[in-house]
């Protein structure tokens, strides 16, 4: 595995934990952090042993407090477009990887940090977590997918309100509106996320990859087309060794030994 200047990467059984490790800068995203995150996600995507991914922030205050404003302040439109493209590419990598990606939000998740969490499959938050898209306060808008992923996560009216007011909300409100899946005490956060990822890792990996693919792609299709995609994906898994093993294990009342084949 590669080493990174801004990240800590640790494998806990079948689950890889990536910690954004710039606590003095509240883990703010700059071009280097985004590039290193993209690299480790690409590396994880070709791993045969990693079946779950958890993203979290180093230190006690922030998951990711936002993009690095100092590095953005002098950008021209071309540079801003390139930086936004880098962020969107990372989001697309997280969506495309065929394993669950869980954001373990341990503090501030603002701006680019909220967008990074939104690019994950689901979000677990500590009671101290805070979420927001405050870009309008800087005269810009979310640029890493925040408008569109927030829309799809919480609905149009709430997405418009959050992105127009720049309001920061706490974990309880984020749970209420469906932005996060679960809220736990900070000391339990990473363990809870890893436990969920480990549980998913015990399922048929080809099936998990298909669930993710069908739900992500189906969200942008008509119901008829999305249902057709589901039927096709369901049928395709009957050509896999995993399907034979899973059903044989069920009938034999034993644990399945999936190989991802």
**Residues noted as catalytic:** 115, 135
Q: To the nearest 10°, report the CA torsion of 24, 174, 150, 35.
A: 20
Report how far residue 53's alpha carbon sits from residue 100's, in angstroms, rounded to the nearest whole number: 6
Ramachandran angles phi, psi of 127, nearest 5°: -65, -20
Name the pairing type of β-strands 108-110 and 130-132.
parallel
Report how far residue 190's alpha carbon sits from residue 184's, in angstroms, rounded to the nearest whole number: 10
Residue 242, CA distances (Å) to 10, 55, 100 in order:
27, 28, 18
**Helix axes of 223-236 and 205-218: crossing angle, nearest 10 degrees:** 170
Q: Quick count: other Cβ atoms within 10 Å of Cβ 1?
A: 12
Report how far residue 161's alpha carbon sits from residue 138's, in angstroms, rounded to the nearest whole number: 16
Is residue 15 a contact partner of residue 198, using CB atoms and an 8 Å limit?
A: yes
């Amino acid at each position: 595995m590669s080493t990174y200047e801004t990240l800590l990467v640790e494998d806990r059984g079948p689950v890889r934990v990536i910690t954004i490790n710039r606590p003095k800068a509240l883990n703010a995203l700059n071009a280097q952090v985004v590039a290193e995150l993209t690299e480790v996600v690409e590396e994880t995507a070709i791993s045969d042993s990693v079946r779950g991914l958890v993203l979290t922030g180093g230190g006690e205050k922030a998951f990711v407090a936002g993009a690095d404003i100092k590095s953005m302040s002098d950008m021209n439109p071309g540079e801003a477009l390139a930086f936004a493209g880098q962020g969107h590419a990372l989001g697309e990598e997280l969506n495309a990887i065929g394993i669950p990606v869980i954001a373990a939000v341990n503090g501030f998740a603002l701006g680019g940090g909220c967008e990074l969490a939104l690019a994950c499959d689901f979000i677990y938050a500590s009671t101290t977590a805070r979420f927001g898209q405050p870009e309008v306060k800087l005269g810009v808008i979310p640029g890493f997918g925040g408008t569109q992923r927030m829309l799809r996560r919480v609905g149009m009216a709430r997405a418009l309100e959050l992105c127009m007011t720049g309001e920061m909300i706490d974990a309880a409100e984020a749970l209420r509106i469906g932005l996060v899946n679960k809220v736990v005490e900070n000391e339990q956060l990473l363990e809870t996320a890893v436990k969920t990822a480990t549980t998913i890792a015990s399922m048929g990996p080809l099936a998990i990859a298909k669930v993710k693919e069908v739900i992500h792609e189906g969200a942008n299709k008509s119901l008829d087309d999305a249902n057709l995609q589901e039927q096709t994906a369901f049928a395709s898994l009957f050509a896999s060794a995993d399907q034979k093993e899973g059903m044989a294990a069920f009938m034999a009342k034993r644990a399945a030994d999936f190989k991802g084949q």
